[in-house]
């Protein structure tokens, strides 16, 4: 069932979107690895000392507040918390599918009247897609 | 009487968020933003700052995508107190603080966002933002929200 309805979508570059997914995955893995050691009594200061930087530099790296997080830095952080990175893989786009469907909640299905939302109601710079597939 | 999501959608008060999740990722959670939140989000810069991995806009888009894809968002999800016991939730990103509520399990509505740096420079307490988010929700006519901790309401896919 398809109704006329607007989404909110930020205008972004697919190249930057992919970078965002990669950096989120890498930073997520780093934070989890560091958290593992912190939960076992280590401190950020001791981990930073092992890497050869100070605590604030380590925190900035883990929060993505560095302009260029190098492979060397990523590896050094993992080394300092005794974690081994595993199986970084990349796949051709054509071999994997992108299946994004914006699914509305069951309440929408139960009250399936068309939404009366106009594009002019959306903020400038918003990408408006005219249809919403309702599961 | 509390307004439901369908009423908020029809009234143009909230919009479902669409993100290109990328190959192999399926939506696991539903995210809505209010009109005001959307207006704020579209003012964010798309230029990458020198000491950041991403532009502000890309950072927000990434957190939207990670949330919708059902990723575990370590250290970024918080229950807000104050206001205590009113179901206001906060999302922390590197540069932002975002407030909203869980309308149902795996369904988040964001109504308020701010740059972390702006909050600090203007000495705005995050508690006051939580109360503002609650007031915005009340103004929309929403009285009933899902209760529980972030991790109960938004279990991760992986």
Which pLDDT does position B52 carry in this prediction? 79
**Chain A nearest C-alpha distance from B69 (Å):** 10
Q: Do B15 and A122 touch (CB under 8 A)?
A: yes
Which architecture characterizes domain B5-153 according to CATH? 2-Layer Sandwich (3.30)
| A42-73: pLDDT as tens digits | 999 999 999 999 999 999 999 888 878 899 99
Q: Do B72 and A111 touch (CB under 8 A)?
A: no
Cβ neighbours, 10 Å, residue A71: 9
Helices (H) and strands (E) in chain A, counts: 5, 2
Higher per-residue pLDDT: B88 or A106: B88
Two structure tokens written together for B151: 């991790």
The size of the A-B interface in CB pairs under 8 A is 164
Percent of chain B residues topping a pLDDT of 90: 58
State the Cα–Cα distance between residues A85 and A106, nearest whole angstrom: 40
Give the nearest chain B residue to A107 (CA atoms): B6
Parse chain A into domains and list their residue ranges: 14-80
The interface pTM score, or ipTM, of the predicted complex is 0.82
**Highest mean pLDDT out of A22-26, A106-110, A123-127:** A22-26
| B38-93: pLDDT as tens digits | 999 999 988 877 777 889 999 999 999 999 999 887 667 777 777 788 889 999 88
Using a CB-CB cut-off of 8 Å, the residues of chain A touching B25 are 98, 100
Two structure tokens written together for B53: 């991995």
pLDDT confidence bin for A117, thresholds 50/70/90: very low
Which pLDDT does position A107 carry in this prediction? 40
Cis status of the peptide bond prior to A64, with omega within 30 of 0: no
């Amino acid at each position: 069932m398809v109704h006329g309805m607007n989404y909110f979508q930020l205008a972004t570059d697919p190249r930057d979107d992919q970078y965002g997914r990669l950096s989120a995955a890498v930073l997520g893995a780093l934070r989890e690895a560091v958290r593992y050691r912190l939960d076992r009594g280590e401190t950020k200061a001791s981990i930073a000392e092992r890497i050869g930087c100070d605590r604030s530099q380590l925190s900035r790296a883990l929060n993505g507040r560095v302009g260029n997080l190098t492979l060397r830095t990523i590896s050094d952080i993992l080394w300092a918390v005794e974690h081994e990175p595993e199986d970084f893989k990349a796949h051709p786009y054509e071999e994997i599918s992108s299946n994004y469907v914006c699914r509305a909640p069951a309440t929408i299905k139960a009250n399936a009247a068309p939404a009366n939302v106009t594009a002019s109601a959306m903020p400038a710079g918003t990408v408006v897609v005219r249809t919403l597939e309702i599961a | 009487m509390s307004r439901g999501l369908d009423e908020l959608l029809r009234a143009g008060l909230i919009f479902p968020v669409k993100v290109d999740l990328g190959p192999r990722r399926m939506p696991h959670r539903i995210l809505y933003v209010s009109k005001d939140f959307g207006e704020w989000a579209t003012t964010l810069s798309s230029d990458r700052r020198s000491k950041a991995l991403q532009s502000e806009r890309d950072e927000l888009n990434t957190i939207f995508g990670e949330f919708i894809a059902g990723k575990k968002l370590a250290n970024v999800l918080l229950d807000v107190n104050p206001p205590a016991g009113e179901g206001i939730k906060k999302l922390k990103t590197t540069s932002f603080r975002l407030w909203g509520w869980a309308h149902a399990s795996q369904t988040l509505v964001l109504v308020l966002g701010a740059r972390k740096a702006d909050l600090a420079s203007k000495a705005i307490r995050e508690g006051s933002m939580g109360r503002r988010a609650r007031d915005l929700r009340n103004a929309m006519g929403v009285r009933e929200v899902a209760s529980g901790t972030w991790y109960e309401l938004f279990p991760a896919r992986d």
